[in-house]
Every structure is written in structure tokens, then in C-alpha cells.
Structure 1
């Protein structure tokens, strides 16, 4: 056998802005902005809750979310949200999606 190994990385989906917007239409979808509070205050996607992935209490704060609901995460460019998506998947969240390109690539208006 060749050295194929099953990846131990938690599973989440990377979605384009169009796919992300479509996914948000699902009933019960949860939208999480994982940027710092000052970034969130500068403009965020409508309906988003802010849980800073770099905060020491991130792991505790995500436990308040429903693991069975589709969960959509984003940040400025997609890097921090990919980290957060991996943490959510590892914590048992079943449907986790990350916005590729973050708010930099989001075509719609932001809310303040």
C-alpha cells in the first residue's frame, strides 16, 4: 500500500461568498463573526454574532451555540475563520462552513 492516511483534520466546508449566502438561508443557520470586537464594530454581516477566535474564552463561548444547527463562520480574509471552523468541527458541530475570502470578498453590504 502507498502511504495514504485518513486526515485527522476536522471536517468543515469552505464556501464561496455565493455559496455562503445561499447556506445562510437555511432555517436555524447561525452566523458567527470570529474577528476582534473592534473589527466587528467597524462592519459585519447582518445577523452575525461576534465571538473572537483569538480570545482565551473562545472554546467556552462556542459551547453556548447549538451544535446541531448549520454554523457559518467568517473573518476578514478567511484565515482566522478557517481556524475557528476547525475548532467548531472538533467540538462536535456537525455542519460548519467557512467563508472563503472573508468580508474582503463579501459582495453585500455590512451592518454597523
Structure 2
């Protein structure tokens, strides 16, 4: 019994006393969820259609090659946002041109426009979802 009381008293004293090994740490901020990644707002299809009639506008489909193969806007180039090399692929693009980007929902294209802006591109449009652009009458292949 003496041993149990002594052990409990010793344990209590050790837990309440400041430790030489105690560190003051600030808890790490939780990682931002993927949905919290900045994105550009979606431009309405009617405005996108007007932009597509202008010269020197480059249309980028940032869906996967498999999605692109099922149909895409006429003249669009496929640049897969999910490709690990996507940031380096941007280096081959002219930063002075106007780019209209779209994907399946507007999420990837919004994130791609933010990434492109960080890399010096200034004329960027998030056109949103392919399905909505097609439904609005924008020509597809």
C-alpha cells in the first residue's frame, strides 16, 4: 500500500511540476482543404462566346486527355491540369496572349488561371464547364 501511495504521489508531483523538457510550441495550422485553393470566378457563357470571336485568343481545355477526347471547344488545346508537369508546361505559353480556360465544372480552370496569374499571365478567363459552354451554343468538336 505504501508503495502505491508513494507512486501516485510521485506521479502527481512529476505531472504538475514544469519539465526541463517542456517546449512552448504553437500548434500548426491545419492544412487548407483542396476546395480552399484560390480560384477565379466563372465568366458567363455569353461573355465567353464574345471573347472567342476575337483574334489572338487561346482556348485551353485543362481536363484530362480522356475527357478532351470525348469532345471539346473548336480549336481548343488540351493542357491537363492534373499532369504533374502542368506548371512547367505553362512556360511554353506566351504570357501576353488572352487565354480562355475551361474544364468539366470550372474548378480546375479556376485554379489553373490563378496559377497562370502567379506565373505572369495577365489576360485570363475562367470559362467554367464544358457542358454549359456546349449547351450555350459554343462550337465543339
Q: TM-score higher than 0.5 here?
A: yes
How many Å apart are 1:110 and its aligned residue? 2.2
Gaps of 5+ in 1: 1-8
Bigger drift between 39-48 and 54-63 goes to 54-63
How many Å apart are 1:11 and its aligned residue? 8.8
In structure 1, how many angstroms separate the alpha carbons of the residues matched to 2:41 and 2:104? Answer: 17
What is the CA RMSD across the aligned residues, in angstroms? 1.9
How many Å apart are 1:26 and its aligned residue? 2.0
In structure 1, how many angstroms separate the alpha carbons of the residues matched to 2:39 and 2:106? Answer: 16
In structure 1, how many angstroms separate the alpha carbons of the residues matched to 2:38 and 2:95? Answer: 14
* Conserved? CA contact 2:38–2:111, under 8 Å: no
Match for 1:103 among 127, 130, 133? 130
Structure having greater relative contact order (Cα 8 Å, sep ≥ 6): 1
Gaps of 5+ in 2: 1-36
Larger-gyration structure (1/2)? 2
Within a 5 Å distance, the mapping from 1:1-112 to structure 2 comes to 14-100=42-128, 102-106=129-133, 107-108=136-137, 109-111=139-141
What secondary structure sits across from 1:99 in the alignment? Answer: strand
Number of residue equivalences: 102
Q: TM-score, normalised by structure 1?
A: 0.83
